[in-house]
Amino acid sequence: MSLHEAAREPLSAQLCVLGVAARSAARALREVTAEAKNAALMAAAAAIRAHSANILAANAEDMTLAKMEGLGAALLDRLALDETRVEAMAKGVEEVAALPDPVGRELARWTRPNGLEIARFSTPIGVIGIIYESRPNVTADAAALCLKSGNAVILRGGSESTRSSGAIFEALRQGLVAANLPVDAIQMIPTTDRAAVGLMLEGLGGTIDLIIPRGGKGLVGRVQQEARVPVLAHLEGICHVYIHEAADLEKARAIVLNAKMRRTGICGAAETLLIDRAVLKSHGLPVLEDLRAAGCEIRADQEVCAMFPSANQASEEDWRTEYLDAIISAKTVSGLDDAIRHIETFGSHHTEAIVTEDTAAAERFLWALDSAIVMWNASTQFADGGEFGMGAEIGIGTGKLHARGPVGVEQLTTFKYIVCGNGQTRP
Amino acid sequence: MSLHEAAREPLSAQLCVLGVAARSAARALREVTAEAKNAALMAAAAAIRAHSANILAANAEDMTLAKMEGLGAALLDRLALDETRVEAMAKGVEEVAALPDPVGRELARWTRPNGLEIARFSTPIGVIGIIYESRPNVTADAAALCLKSGNAVILRGGSESTRSSGAIFEALRQGLVAANLPVDAIQMIPTTDRAAVGLMLEGLGGTIDLIIPRGGKGLVGRVQQEARVPVLAHLEGICHVYIHEAADLEKARAIVLNAKMRRTGICGAAETLLIDRAVLKSHGLPVLEDLRAAGCEIRADQEVCAMFPSANQASEEDWRTEYLDAIISAKTVSGLDDAIRHIETFGSHHTEAIVTEDTAAAERFLWALDSAIVMWNASTQFADGGEFGMGAEIGIGTGKLHARGPVGVEQLTTFKYIVCGNGQTRP
């Protein structure tokens, strides 16, 4: 054992105990009714409201320390809670309670010639580890989604939000107690020691089934690189809007402006605009004017720059960049194949949209691209669990295994086969 | 760069080229029709038959070398091909061609209040890496399942079967050429250098989407431990049959004998028999007699040994052992809860069966256990893609993400969302 390992051992043992308790709670949750889970969620929402003063006091301490440590304004905004945000958190938990139960759904059923009846039912995954950053409301969102889907959860928030997250966590546990559910179903790593994240990524002695990172590229990249258990993550949303030569001008203008500027910081915001050369002047120019008028910086290829002098020259790096800001890259393409090639080369398989009145071109675009979400004549900002009608989401998956696109309560389940016979044996 | 890394670099570059070619073929496969894929599979089957003599000659060389290296009888049997096995391989590829196309299925469709139409369609995963051991027929099985599901495949077989697998691989590529599909859709690692496996597990420069190991515990364990890309694997099938106190005696006898002895070497074979104390004499005794008469060794707890003296004393290790042989461990349990507890403690979440006429007890067993497949009054040997009516399978998954239970062509797909609008923007 190295010195480094020796130093970690007590933490490792402590967290394994926590993992074993979560696994045992997960076992109990498999036999819990939808009503009991919903009662716990409603009680948790009530407890969040009742403890609003505690939560805000804890958050004030976090904020004071964060300011002393010189955290930036964006980070401070993510960390800050007020009464409105606490109320939104409680309401969010109630909305999760109101969703249809994702567990025990019959997904398929068939009968074999030998009389065996086979059915596939949704079941909880087990124990889910959530690793997140400064936003303390993730504590409530993530725990609610996990509990609704019958999973135990182990939460690890950012060190700067420890006190806020801890106060929210206490309220959530009161919900479990009130509904007579195992209190270990919601766990929080009781230390800010960064080694704890490493131990979670190793699976806490086989007790964690799935890790979901929520945060920036740095966090998600580290989790994907180091995890020894399955990970459900999205790394980047480099979303494209392609104005095809048969695009309707008004649709193109409305969609591009909305896809880029409605909210620039979400993963479904458009980052690159592809304009068909045939409509560069007729459609590209007014669309770029709209963007500029809305305060968007445009980084463009030479053809666009020649036509639209206020654009800045783009470098190849721009095609690979998720700005999450009022900046868009714009490129001329010589048709559908060129657009598809660009997206496959530089995209992140999140969400892409085509604007066109040509059905055949749309079909080709929708099928040829390997992205989680492909859209025809709609804004990429609809890439969202709520907008899909799936309820609250824990994120948008860009991996290809298990879940892609919005990850809501259904995506936090797995399934099992139940086979019923009357004594059949295999010949 | 360490010396070790320097030595690996040329191999790494060589395999990255192969990965990039596979990725490019996967892109092309996304737009290929079901008819073209099936034509390639039928042509591949024909080529396997036409090249039967080549394949058998290559296999004879592999066998000669394997004998010189002193491989055991079981391994030699897995390696050996004859005309019957080659014909079975060709037929297997034709059967995969005859399956319904797993790609482009509409999995769900709904319309949002704003008029957006959202649909979820099955799509290929992309590039799948298959790492297997001595059985050369896996070359054809795995490649056929991957091609049918629209995926490119990178095959890495055991070094002892290099010549056989290579000859089969050549036949498969002829099928691709005949159907005008990209020949790079089926690739084989052109070296027996073990470092190649490590490179595949790292994802070959981001070109591999999924790794599926097929082989023994050692291989699967290494893959799960080292892979940096998602893995679909089953590690062990420690399957249980539980004779409940309300079991029908004749059903219990037939099911246990079949579950253990029909074929002992498959992952769905029963390894542990749990007998309710209430029926230990009435049911346990005749069941154990049947097993002994069929040549099965019994390793049992004290209560069973006291009643059935020809049983050997079991150690705790026996409850954790996948024998894959004519050996069964037998344990007395004091009811349903005790049986569930034992299976959750020692099982591998593969397949478990209860024998009972009591519906409530069966329901409890089926829902409380967290196994991929749970059965009521049926033999665990039905845990098989073919027996489930799903066609050929690449294995039985015991993980919880993406696919559980039989992994056939449907499980080798992922999905995407296609969203159709008429200019909607998000408010």
| Nearest chain B residue to A249, by CA | B423
Beta carbons of A378 and B123 less than 8 Å apart: no
| Helices B359-368 + B336-346 axis angle, to 10 | 20
Burial letters for A362-391: b for 16+ Cβ neighbours within 10 Å, e otherwise?
A: bebbbbbbbbbbbbbbbbbbbbbbebbebb
Give the class (CATH, top level) of B239-387: alpha beta
Residue A381: list chain B partners with CB under 8 A: 425-426
Q: Which of B30, B110, B225 sits opposite A370 (nearest CB)?
A: B30
Which stretches of B207-344 are assigned E, i.e. beta strand? Answer: 210-214, 239-243, 270-276, 297-300, 312-313, 327-333
User: Which of A348, A419, A422 is the best substitution to test chain B (most B C-beta atoms within 10 A)?
Assistant: A419
Size of interface A-B (CB pairs under 8 A): 196
pLDDT value at position B236? Answer: 83
pLDDT value at position B5? Answer: 55
Burial of A132 (0-12, 13-18, 19+ CB in 10 A): buried
Distance from the Cα of B399 to chain A's closest Cα (Å) equals: 9
Distance separating the N- and C-terminal Cα atoms of chain B: 53
Residue B340: list chain A partners with CB under 8 A: none
pLDDT value at position B298? Answer: 98
> How confident is the prediction along chain A (427 residues), in pLDDT tens digits per residue?
444 554 556 888 899 999 999 999 999 999 999 999 999 999 999 999 999 999 999 999 999 999 999 988 888 988 999 999 999 999 999 999 999 999 999 999 999 999 999 999 999 999 999 999 888 999 999 999 999 999 999 999 999 999 999 999 999 999 999 999 999 999 999 988 889 999 999 999 899 999 999 988 888 888 988 888 899 987 789 999 999 999 999 999 999 999 999 999 889 999 999 999 999 999 999 999 999 999 999 999 999 999 999 999 999 999 999 999 999 999 999 999 999 999 999 999 999 999 999 999 999 999 999 999 999 999 999 999 989 988 888 888 888 898 899 999 999 999 999 999 999 999 9
| Nearest chain A residue to B344, by CA | A27
Beta carbons of A382 and B422 less than 8 Å apart: no
| Nearest chain B residue to A248, by CA | B423
* Residue-wise pLDDT tens digits, B156-206: 999 999 999 999 999 999 999 999 999 999 999 998 888 999 999 999 989
Beta carbons of B30 and A368 less than 8 Å apart: yes
Give the class (CATH, top level) of A3-232: alpha beta
Q: Which of A258, A379, A405 sits opposite B417 (nearest CB)?
A: A405
Distance from the Cα of B406 to chain A's closest Cα (Å) equals: 10
- The CATH number assigned to the domain with range B3-233+409-417 reads 3.40.605.10
Q: Which of A110, A370, A416 sits opposite B371 (nearest CB)?
A: A416
Q: Which of B248, B344, B423 sits opposite A377 (nearest CB)?
A: B423
> How confident is the prediction along chain B (427 residues), in pLDDT tens digits per residue?
444 554 556 888 899 999 999 999 999 999 999 999 999 999 999 999 999 999 999 999 999 999 999 988 888 988 999 999 999 999 999 999 999 999 999 999 999 999 999 999 999 999 999 999 888 999 999 999 999 999 999 999 999 999 999 999 999 999 999 999 999 999 999 988 889 999 999 999 899 999 999 988 888 888 988 888 899 987 789 999 999 999 999 999 999 999 999 999 889 999 999 999 999 999 999 999 999 999 999 999 999 999 999 999 999 999 999 999 999 999 999 999 999 999 999 999 999 999 999 999 999 999 999 999 999 999 999 999 989 988 888 888 888 898 899 999 999 999 999 999 999 999 9
**CA triple B274-B275-B280, angle to 5 deg:** 160
* Residue-wise pLDDT tens digits, B74-93: 889 889 999 999 999 999 99
Distance from the Cα of B6 to chain A's closest Cα (Å) equals: 22
Distance from the Cα of B163 to chain A's closest Cα (Å) equals: 33
The answer to whether B194 touches B156, Cβ cutoff 8 Å, is: no
In terms of Cα–Cα distance, which of B118, B34, B133, B51 is closest to B90?
B51
In terms of Cα–Cα distance, which of A16, A339, A65, A338 is closest to A196?
A16
Q: What is the pTM of this model?
A: 0.91
Beta carbons of A399 and B366 less than 8 Å apart: no
Q: Which of B254, B378, B401 sits opposite A419 (nearest CB)?
A: B378
Q: Which of B257, B422, B426 sits opposite A258 (nearest CB)?
A: B426
User: Which of B229, B359, B401 is the best substitution to test chain A (most A C-beta atoms within 10 A)?
Assistant: B401
Residue B362: list chain A partners with CB under 8 A: 420
Distance from the Cα of A292 to chain B's closest Cα (Å) equals: 19
User: Which of A370, A373, A380, A411 is the best substitution to test chain B (most B C-beta atoms within 10 A)?
Assistant: A370
Domain boundaries, chain B: 3-233+409-417, 239-387
B179 DSSP 8-state letter: T
Distance in angstroms (rounded) separating the CA atoms of residues B30 and B41: 16
Distance from the Cα of B31 to chain A's closest Cα (Å) equals: 6
**Continuous H helices in B73-194:** 73-79, 83-98, 137-148, 162-178
Q: Tell me the DSSP string of B337-373.
A: HHHHHHHHHH--SSEEEEE-S-HHHHHHHHHH---SE
